[in-house]
Copies of this chain bind each other. A is one copy, B any other.
Amino acid sequence: MQVNVKLAKNSYPIVIEPGLLQTLKIIEDYITGNEVVVITNNVLADLLLPTVKSQLKCYDHNEIILPDGEQYKNFDSLNKIFDELIAKQCTRQTTLIALGGGVIGDMTGFAAACYQRGIAFIQIPTTLLAQVDASVGGKTAVNHSRAKNMIGAFYQPQCVLIDPLVLNTLPAQHFHAGLAEVIKYGLIQDAEFTIWLSEHHAEIMAKNPEILITMISRCCQLKADIVAVDEREAGLRAILNFGHTIGHALEVMYGYENILHGEAVAQGMFIESHMSYQLGMLDEAEYNKIIDVLTLFNFTKPNLTKAQCEQLITLMQHDKKVKTKDSVRFVLLNSIGQPELIDIKLTDLHNLICNN
């Protein structure tokens, strides 16, 4: 299965195939030059790196291994990558390969964007979240201690190679968290896909490879359609942030190491759907459908204290989506598949969020 991301320049394919990692022949079409550096984390260095390396034998290949976790998606890790690339005398003809989840993909992409002002890179996403979201669309970044993804670049990979079988080695909690972004695509773009997800709940949870291919490629296609229209997030792309205004603030509040991104987005979708309902945008039947699909996939409505609500509101004012000094921008829903950008005044936020 192949999905093409069509851009003015730098179009590229997303190839989705069970067992792809065992027969990486295809990667040779996308490596420029003779030098390859695989960037991965210490967990995948044991699990998947040997398989990938065994297929790069005809290249001058190296690896850089970073500690695992969102808390390491920072300038220190980025500097470690630059130090090693320079120590290895890597030239502009080097290709970086991101073998990992969103953290590895975002940092490798940003390092590729900046090293010598830009070298080639390939995404091999190994988590569900990265396969359906982070690896597609060219957003790269590191976190700042005070705000997520604050420093980065729009920089497209040569290709994205997705093997759904690697999800068998993914911890159950991470697979579950990734499903939040899958559900998000349905809620913002595709009512039919939302129904399909409910109908195939059992097969998805059992990781049926054929069903996973259908699910992942549908998500990639939905995201590719948006990115093709709005590569640099000037407009339409913003709808991908459904659940994220609250989600990002939750991650900062709990600390990145205490909540997975998908879990935070799921909680964000609960709250932002309720906001849509309170504002009269979503009717009750449609709102209940959203709650039902989230609940079916075992996500639970957040239960925040008053103090936590207040903290969230403060944190959202530091989110880069804040457009003006007296309002916060949300993606809200008129119905499933019908999102709308709404600026909510700071003075209204308290009632909308804390009455959840």
Chain A binding surface, main DSSP class? mixed
Contacting residues, chain B, for A75 (C-beta < 8 A): 75, 79
* Shortest beta-carbon distance from A29 to chain B in Å: 20
Chain A: number of interface residues, binned into ranges: 35 or more
- B322 adjacent to A89 (CB under 8 Å): yes
Q: Quick one: which of A78-92 are within 8 Å of B by CB?
A: 79, 82-83, 86, 89, 91-92
Q: A118-B232, A323-B93 are in contact. Are A318 and B86 (CB under 8 A)?
A: yes
| B117 touching A141, Cβ below 8 Å | yes
Proximity bits, A110-142, B CB within 8 Å = 1, else 0: 000111111000000000000000000001110
Q: Is the CB of A150 within 8 A of B115?
A: yes
Instruction: Decide if A86 touches B117 in the complex (CB within 8 Å).
Output: no
When chains A and B are docked, how far (Å) is the Cα of A317 from the Cα of B86? 11
CB 8 Å contact bits of A214-257 with B (1 = contact, 0 = none): 00000000000000000011000000000000000000000000
Contacts of A118 in B (CB 8 A): 153-154, 232
> Could you say which of B86, B320, B325 contacts A116, with CB atoms under 8 Å apart?
B320
**Contact for A323 among B91, B139, B140, B147, CB less than 8 A:** B91
- Distance between Cα atoms of A140 and B113 in the complex (Å): 12
Among B79, B153, B317, B320, point to the contact of A153 (Cβ < 8 A): B153
